[in-house]
Amino acid sequence: MKKICFLFSIFILSISASFALPHVTQNVPDFSGQYVYYKDKSFERESYIGIVYYDESTYGLRYYAPATGNGSKFKPEKNIHILFTIDPDMENLELTGERILTSITPEDTDLVNYIHDFFYEMTKRRQNAGDVTEKKSEYQDYTQFGGNVMLYFDPLIPIFNLERIDSVDKKTVLQIITAGQLVSSEDQSFAKFIGFSEKYKDTKHKFKKDKRANPLEVAYKANDNSTELKAKLDSSWVTAAENFYTLNNVAVFTVNEVSSPLENQFDVLKRRLLLGTELVHPNWTSQKIEKKENGTLFTQVSYHAESDSYTYDFKFLRELDSKTAGLYTLTVFAGAYSSNKKYFNSIIASFN
């Protein structure tokens, strides 16, 4: 079994205001390696456009479309990846250099121009939106998507803070599909993204509740001065390490305390919880963020590209004080969760 544990750390010692785009102040700062992919429905074929932030002067943009059709209608795969450098001090986006990282043909000229236009236009749309401190929507004129369109913004989304664009006839023409955080210079999550199925079929991972299992209460304290964090499992779960539990190679549960001196650390933390890790792509079109009486529950389905599998990911954030939170994570393979929702949901409900 490949490890499906959620690797996470949020111990940030210091950070200054982030200007990921020229003359745009982010309420939630962008960190190097954060990226977003959108599904662009203005194309006749399945198409994705992504952007990754390296620093204030360096970005990568990539267009990807899988091969489609047969015979005379066959269209080959398209993969165009460009690294841009910009002048962050200019009022508007000004490119200072670019390098095409993939092979292209003369037929790809329009797609290269599309990538340039996307970078320019989205930067301008984000500048026009002003401060994005919470979810907001506004009309803007955008010729490529039909003129006067509605743009939806969310500060938890990196770089452009853009969730989607709806046309005048209220059809979604651009939609966030996934977002992630590169973990190293070797991480190929952005460069190798090729989309994923939105049907989460999984016949490989099965689980049947052991009716003879005894209740097992988990109680964790980071130190003597910490708040005790509790959850209810059963004896089917195995303690792999302190505050780390596994279930029959189909699920992993962890509980931790996290802290940071940042004033808006919970927004930073919430974004980080929603981002994919190395070769793991959460589906942002189906995720849920639910405020509970004692915290916030984040629910996602993630595609694991390396193993071609899907997991349901549940992350519960319990704010303990202004700088500290309890973090519960439950990751379950889709096949096991789909047939045992009541069992796993009861575990989630026990987080306290």
* pLDDT at res. 12: 37
Which residues, in sequence order, are CB contacts of 253 under 8 Å at separation 6+?
218, 231, 233, 237, 244, 245, 246, 247, 328, 329, 330, 331, 347
* pLDDT at res. 168: 86
More reliable by pLDDT, 140 or 323: 140
Query: How far is residue 349's CA from residue 98's CA, in Å, rounded to a whole number?
Result: 50
pLDDT digits (tens, 9 = 90+) for 58-82: 999 999 999 999 999 999 999 999 9
pLDDT digits (tens, 9 = 90+) for 99-145: 999 999 999 999 999 999 999 999 999 999 999 999 999 999 898 88
Helix (H) or strand (E) holding 178: strand 172-181
Query: How far is residue 209's CA from residue 207's CA, in Å, rounded to a whole number?
Result: 7
Residue 155's pLDDT band, with cuts at 50, 70 and 90, is very high
Reply yes or no on whether the pLDDT at 10 is more than 80: no
More reliable by pLDDT, 19 or 257: 257
Reply yes or no on whether the pLDDT at 334 is more than 70: yes
Mean pLDDT (the chain, rounded): 91
* pLDDT at res. 9: 40
* pLDDT at res. 16: 38
Query: How far is residue 114's CA from residue 47's CA, in Å, rounded to a whole number?
Result: 12
Domains of the chain listed by start with CATH number: 34-181 (no CATH), 215-349 (3.40.1000)
Residue 19's pLDDT band, with cuts at 50, 70 and 90, is low
Q: How many CB atoms lie within 10 A of CB 223?
A: 6
User: Computed from CA positions of residues 328, 334, 336, 338, in that sequence, does the dihedral angle turn out positive or negative?
Assistant: positive
* pLDDT at res. 8: 40
Query: How far is residue 189's CA from residue 276's CA, in Å, rounded to a whole number?
Result: 9
Radius of gyration of the chain (CA): 22
DSSP string across 108-172: GHHHHHHHHHHHHHHHHHHHHH---SS-EEEEEEEGGGTEEEEEEE-TTSSTT-EEEEE-TTS-E
In percent, how much of the chain has pLDDT > 90? 78
Residue 262's pLDDT band, with cuts at 50, 70 and 90, is low
Residue 190's pLDDT band, with cuts at 50, 70 and 90, is very high
Q: Which amino acid is at 350?
A: S
Q: pTM surpassing 0.75?
A: yes
Reply yes or no on whether the pLDDT at 2 is more than 80: no
Lowest mean pLDDT among 215-219, 231-235, 257-261, 293-297: 257-261
Query: How far is residue 51's CA from residue 53's CA, in Å, rounded to a whole number?
Result: 7
- If DSSP codes are grouped into helix, strand and coil, which group holds residue 236? coil
* pLDDT at res. 322: 81
Residue 312's pLDDT band, with cuts at 50, 70 and 90, is very high
* pLDDT at res. 344: 98
| Tokens representing residue 292 in the block | 């509970």
Q: Are strands 324-333 and 251-259 parallel, antiparallel or unpaired?
A: antiparallel
Which residues, in sequence order, are CB contacts of 160 under 8 Å at separation 6+?
21, 36, 51, 122, 123, 125, 126
* pLDDT at res. 151: 97
* pLDDT at res. 123: 96
Measure Cα distances from 334 to 34, 251, 260, 287, 342 in Å: 26, 10, 33, 14, 14
Mean pLDDT of 35-54: 97
* pLDDT at res. 263: 63
Residue 1's pLDDT band, with cuts at 50, 70 and 90, is very low
DSSP-derived secondary structure letter, 210: -
Residue 261's pLDDT band, with cuts at 50, 70 and 90, is low
- If DSSP codes are grouped into helix, strand and coil, which group holds residue 346? helix
Reply yes or no on whether the pLDDT at 179 is more than 90: yes
- If DSSP codes are grouped into helix, strand and coil, which group holds residue 267? helix
Which residues, in sequence order, are CB contacts of 98 under 8 Å at separation 6+?
82, 83, 84, 85
Class of residue 273 by CB neighbours under 10 A (exposed 0-12, middle 13-18, buried 19+) = buried
